[in-house]
Amino acid sequence: MEGVSYQRFPKIKIRTVKDDFMKFELRETDASIANALRRVMIAEVPTIAIDLVEIEVNSSVLNDEFIAHRLGLIPLTSERAMSMRFSRDCDACDGDGQCEYCSVEFHLRAKCINDQTLDVTSKDLIGSDSTVLPVDFSDSSTGDGSENRGIIIVKLRRGQELILRAIARKGIGKDHAKWSPAATVTFMYEPDIYINEELMETLTLEEKKEFVESSPTKVFDINPNTHQVYVYDAEAYTYDDEVLKKADAMGKPGLVTIQAKEDSFIFTVETTGAIKASQLFLNAIEVLKQKLDAVRLSADTVETDEQFGELGAHMRGG
């Protein structure tokens, strides 16, 4: 019935969790919630990134602006980002953005004193807070940390020098991509695939092979013993309709029926390493709750915008 709304209770099933990767199912909700969660994970969950760079000495081949930009894009561990203050809202430093409550200071000093090229990396950044450091991308499973040289900022030759001070601040990906904790966040509708067994058995083995191979991804396979076609991996289906076109071309419309479950989504999340994938998911839910509270508490646009600043305006597309 139109105009009738009802409360839904989404369910989540975790499939895979790693430090920088997560796959989960979101069920019993609709696309608006799935997309809101995705957009919040990409652009609204706060992290810490270098925002101000003061270069004292730079005799490298890269100019100051280029080095500052590279520094900004180095992911920093951001577990404490949610509790930090935005520099513009910090009353401890009157919005200056350089106090311990809203910023972290880094220093870098590097000089090449021999004929060998010196790689200046993120490991050369010395920070004032041990909890906010450049992300370590070494593979802990190998047990050999010597291979991790950090992210290269610039290369110096003999006599070249780089001395700088950098201030890292809290921010969100909506303001600049350097604050986005997500490398990628995607979701797809879970496909529901039904094979018409009676119609399938009218095909020869060669025709079955042609049908299976018509899919760009391995969605179907043939049982080597019974020669029956079965669904090998439903989630590999990319909604390309190639198998449906093949069935029509073979004169067998209805051979398979593929529908998207409109209340079931499969999410894939990859992070930059700034925060763990599981924490990114939890933080995104917290941010989404704050946004919904902002809308619920005040129906008046002007009042909400005054009360919640940019948050209320963003919720209304402002």
Q: What is the pLDDT of residues 111-122, one digit of tens each?
A: 999 989 999 999
Specify the pTM: 0.80
Q: What is the pLDDT of residues 177-201, one digit of tens each?
A: 999 999 999 999 999 999 999 999 9
pLDDT of residue 136: 84
Q: Per-domain residue ranges for the chain?
A: 46-179
CATH number 3.40.50.9100 is the correct assignment for the domain at 46-179: no
Q: Of 54-68, 75-89, 108-122, which gets the smallest average pLDDT?
A: 75-89
Mean of the per-residue pLDDT values for the chain?
88
What DSSP string describes the chain? -TT-------EEEEEEE-SSEEEEEEESS-HHHHHHHHHHHHHTS-EEEEEEEEEEEE-SSS-HHHHHHHHHTS-B--TTTTTSPPGGG-TTTTT-S-STTTEEEEEEEEE--SSSPEEEEGGGPEES-TTS-B-----TTTT-GGG----EEEEE-TT-EEEEEEEEEEE-TTT-GGG--EEEEEEEEEEEEEE-HHHHTTS-HHHHHHHHHTSSS--EEE-TTT--EEES-GGG--S--HHHHHHHHTT-TTSEEEEEEEEEEEEEEEE-SSS-HHHHHHHHHHHHHHHHHHHHH---HHHHHHHHTHHHHHHTT-
User: Does residue 1 carry a pLDDT above 50?
Assistant: no
Q: Of 229-233, 292-296, 297-301, which gets the smallest average pLDDT?
A: 297-301
Highest average pLDDT, of 66-70, 83-87, 92-96, 233-237, comes from 66-70
Q: Of 136-145, 256-265, 283-292, which gets the smallest average pLDDT?
A: 136-145
pLDDT of residue 6: 66
